[in-house]
Structures are given as C-alpha cells and as structure tokens.
C-alpha cells in the first residue's frame, strides 16, 4: 500500500502533466522561422584556416573530396532582392572554389575572352615574370591619358601602351572638366596620377566621328531647358566653349566638318582646363609636367600630336602656344 503523502504527490504530478498536455493540444502551431542570412565568417577564423592549411575546408596534406557543379537553385543562402550588395559578394566568396553552371545552348560571350586572357597571361606574365612581379609591387607610369570611351579608340591598342606605362581614364568625348566643376571620376584620376604617381605627361586623346562631340554640336541653347534631363547633355556641356568657338570659326561648313573642327577644339579646351587645377599648373610651371593633345583619325588611320606651351610673356601677349606638332601616318 502506497503511503498517503506519496499518493498525494503522485496525484498532483499527474494533474500537472494532464494540464500541460491539454495546453499543447489547444495551442496554435509555432510560426515557421524565416530563412536566416549566412553570417559573415569571422576574420580570425579565416586567418586560422589559412595558417593551418584548412582554407578549402580540409586539413593540409589531405585531398579534398570531388565537387559536382553547383546549380543556381542549390545556393544555400538566397539573396533577397534589395539594394544591399553584401549578399552577392557573400556568394562570390562562398563559391570562389566551386564551379557554376555554364551557359547551356547559348553563345557564351566570354569563351573567346578566356582564350585571349590565357594568351595574354602566357605572353606577358609567364614569359615575363620579373616585370610582372615588379608591377605587382608598384606602378610608375610616365603618362596619364584622358581618352574617349568609344570602343574603337582604346589608347593601349592605338599607342601600344604596355601594363604599367599609362594611367588611363576614359569618358564620353575625352573631356577634362575645369577645377571648379567639382568631383568627377576624371578629376579624381588626375589628382591621383599627378600628385601620387607623379606622372610626367598628361595626354588628352580625341578621335574622328566622336558621338559625344556630335551630341555637343547638336545642342541648341533654347532647347536645353525644355528637354528632359540627359546625363550625356549635362556632361558634354563642359565643352560648350569649344562648340561656340567652332560655330564662330567654322559655322559656314557642313555639320560633319564642324564636328571635325570641334573634335580638335575640345582637346585644346581640355588642355586649358587642366591648367585650372592648382597642382597641375604648379608642376607645369616647374617643368616637371607636360600637357599634350592627340587626335586619332580612324578613317585614314593617322595620329596628330602636339604639346601645349604655358608661360607668361609669349609672343603676341598670350600665355599659351602649341609646339612639337607632328602627324603620324
């Protein structure tokens, strides 16, 4: 026979268990947890993996297990559509050792680029290891080049620049905004090239049949305010003075010839704008920096080159002149 105190305790435990069971039976099911983003890997853990040879998830000296291609639908972390780019970067880091699907049944535009890259690597990196080891440590270009973004006028192809020889920025119509214009990718590139890399030459390269110059010459002042905003129009307006000079000097010519004139006029306008940057003007006056213009005509494959002279008291009272003009044909 169970003593009364024990029977009483047993009854209380049984009643509590029955109450808990009834509560669970009548409570709604828990809401499913939303998918959690992949946490970024701790920097110390990354360092530890590299130091111990576990960077691929296997101990040093052991062969990693074979990997099958990872399909897009198998990504363990789904990147939600948002303005946050960290999820995309996380995927690149996660799968840098994996293989993604190739394009099936479609032309792969990178197939030929891969072959060109491998040829470039062999000719320039493998066969010239010492030069590339030096470039990996520092760059000491002698030229800063401002060129047009036009796909037909790559300055490295036209002028044969090799890696490390020219610090280059390309924009619509190869324009240099004045210092007062404020920050832009071109002014930032000039600041780095002149002040940090201490290049000895700045070369502004224009070209024939420039779409940016055609847009500039097509602008009509009375239409500027009525049209919807255009980034191209806003940008090429930097060279409005070149358009006005062209209209004054070649306004009686047809549109194509006016554009040809403005293509060269805008180069000289950019050269003068370079001198509005205090640290460029200072180096030009000191003789440690030279400013040059270049014009590539891909219709007959010729190249014109000239150098800007800037100093007080030149003949005629001007501060500017052209020297060393030549045509390569």
pLDDT at 99: 53
* pLDDT given at position 58: 46
Q: For residues 201 and 222, what is the distance between their CA atoms, to the nearest angstrom?
A: 39
Please give the sequence-ordered ranges of beta strands (E in DSSP) within the chain, or none if there are none. 143-148, 166-171, 201-207, 290-297, 302-310, 320-328
Q: Is 100 left (phi over 0), alpha (psi -120 to 50) or beta?
A: beta
Three-state SS for the chain is CCCHHHHHHHHHHHHHHHHHHHHHHHCCCCCCCCCCCCCCCCHHHHHHHHHHCCCCCCCCCCCCCCCCCECHHHCCCCCCCCCCCHHHHHHHHHCCCCCECCCCCCCCCHHHHHHHHHHHHHHHHHCCHHHHHHHHHCCCCCEEEEEECCCCCCHHHHHCCCCCCEEEEEEHHHCCCCHHHCCCHHHHHHHHHHHHCCCCEEEEEEECCCHHHHHHHHCCHHHCCCCCCCHHHHHHHHHHHHHHHHHHHHCCCCHHHHHHHHHHHHHHHHHHHHCCCHHHHHHHHHCCCEEEEEEEECCCCEEEEEEEEECCCCHHHCCEEEEEEEEEC
106-119 pLDDT, tens digit each: 778 899 999 999 99
Query: 124 falls in which pLDDT band (50, 70, 90)?
Result: confident
Alpha carbon distances (Å) from 213 to 217, 222, 224, 240: 6, 19, 16, 10
Q: Is the model's pLDDT at 60 over the cut of 50?
A: no
Whether pLDDT at 35 is above 80: no
Residue 14's pLDDT is what? 60
pLDDT at 48: 44
Q: What is the pLDDT of residue 226?
A: 54
Percent of the chain with pLDDT over 90: 54
Query: Can you say which residues are annotated as belonging to the binding site?
Result: 148, 150, 207, 210
Reported pTM: 0.68
State the average pLDDT over residues 79-94.
64
Across residues 283-310, what is the average pLDDT?
Answer: 97
Is the pLDDT assigned to residue 29 strictly greater than 80? Answer: no
Among the residue ranges 36-40, 155-159, 168-172, 235-239, the one predicted with the least confidence is 36-40
pLDDT of residue 326: 96
pLDDT score at 74: 45
Q: How far is CA 305 from CA 13, 239, 291, 293, in A?
A: 99, 20, 11, 6
Using 50, 70 and 90 to split pLDDT, how confident is the model at 73?
very low
| pLDDT, average across residues 99-105 | 54
CA gap 288, 57 in Å, rounded: 53
pLDDT exceeds cutoff 80 at 101: no
Predicted local distance difference test score (pLDDT) of residue 53: 47
Q: Pick out the residues of the known binding site for Zn(2+).
A: 148, 150, 207, 210
Fold topology of 142-328: Beta-carbonic Anhydrase; Chain A (3.40.1050)
In this prediction, residue 137 has a pLDDT band, given cuts at 50, 70 and 90, of confident
* Model confidence pLDDT, tens digit, residues 207-231: 999 999 999 999 875 455 555 778 9
Delimit the domains of the chain by residue range.
142-328
Q: What is the mean pLDDT of residues 56-72?
A: 47
Arithmetic mean of pLDDT, 58-64: 48
Q: Given a cut of 60, is residue 49 above it in pLDDT?
A: no
Instruction: Give the pLDDT confidence score for residue 93 in this predicted structure.
Output: 73
CA distance 45 to 37: 19
């Amino acid at each position: 026979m169970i003593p009364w105190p024990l029977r009483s305790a047993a009854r209380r435990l049984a009643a509590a268990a029955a109450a808990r069971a009834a509560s669970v039976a009548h409570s709604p099911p828990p809401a499913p947890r939303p998918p959690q983003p992949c946490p970024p890997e701790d920097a110390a853990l990354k360092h530890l993996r590299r130091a111990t040879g576990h960077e691929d998830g296997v101990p040093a000296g052991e062969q990693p297990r074979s990997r099958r291609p990872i399909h897009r639908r198998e990504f363990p972390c789904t990147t939600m559509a948002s303005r946050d780019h960290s999820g995309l970067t996380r995927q690149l880091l996660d799968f840098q050792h994996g293989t993604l699907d190739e394009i099936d049944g479609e032309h792969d535009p990178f197939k030929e680029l891969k072959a060109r890259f491998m040829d470039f690597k062999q000719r320039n990196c493998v066969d010239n290891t010492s030069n590339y080891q030096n470039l990996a440590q520092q760059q000491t270009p002698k030229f800063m080049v401002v060129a047009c973004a036009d796909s037909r006028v790559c300055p490295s192809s036209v002028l044969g620049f090799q890696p490390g020889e020219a610090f280059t920025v390309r924009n619509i119509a190869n324009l240099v905004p004045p210092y007062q214009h404020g920050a832009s990718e071109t002014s930032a590139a000039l600041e780095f090239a002149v002040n940090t890399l201490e290049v000895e030459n700045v070369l502004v390269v224009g070209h024939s049949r420039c779409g940016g110059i055609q847009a500039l010459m097509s602008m009509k002042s009375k239409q500027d305010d009525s049209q919807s905003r255009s980034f191209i129009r806003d940008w090429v307006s930097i060279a409005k003075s070149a358009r006005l000079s062209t209209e004054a000097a070649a306004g009686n010519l047809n549109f194509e010839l006016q554009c040809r004139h403005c293509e060269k006029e805008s180069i000289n306008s950019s050269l003068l704008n370079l001198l509005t940057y205090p640290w460029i003007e200072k180096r030009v006056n000191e003789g440690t920096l030279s400013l040059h213009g270049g014009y590539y005509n891909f219709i007959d494959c010729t190249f014109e080159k000239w150098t800007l002279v800037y100093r007080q008291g030149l003949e005629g009272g001007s501060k500017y002149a052209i020297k060393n003009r030549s045509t390569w044909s």
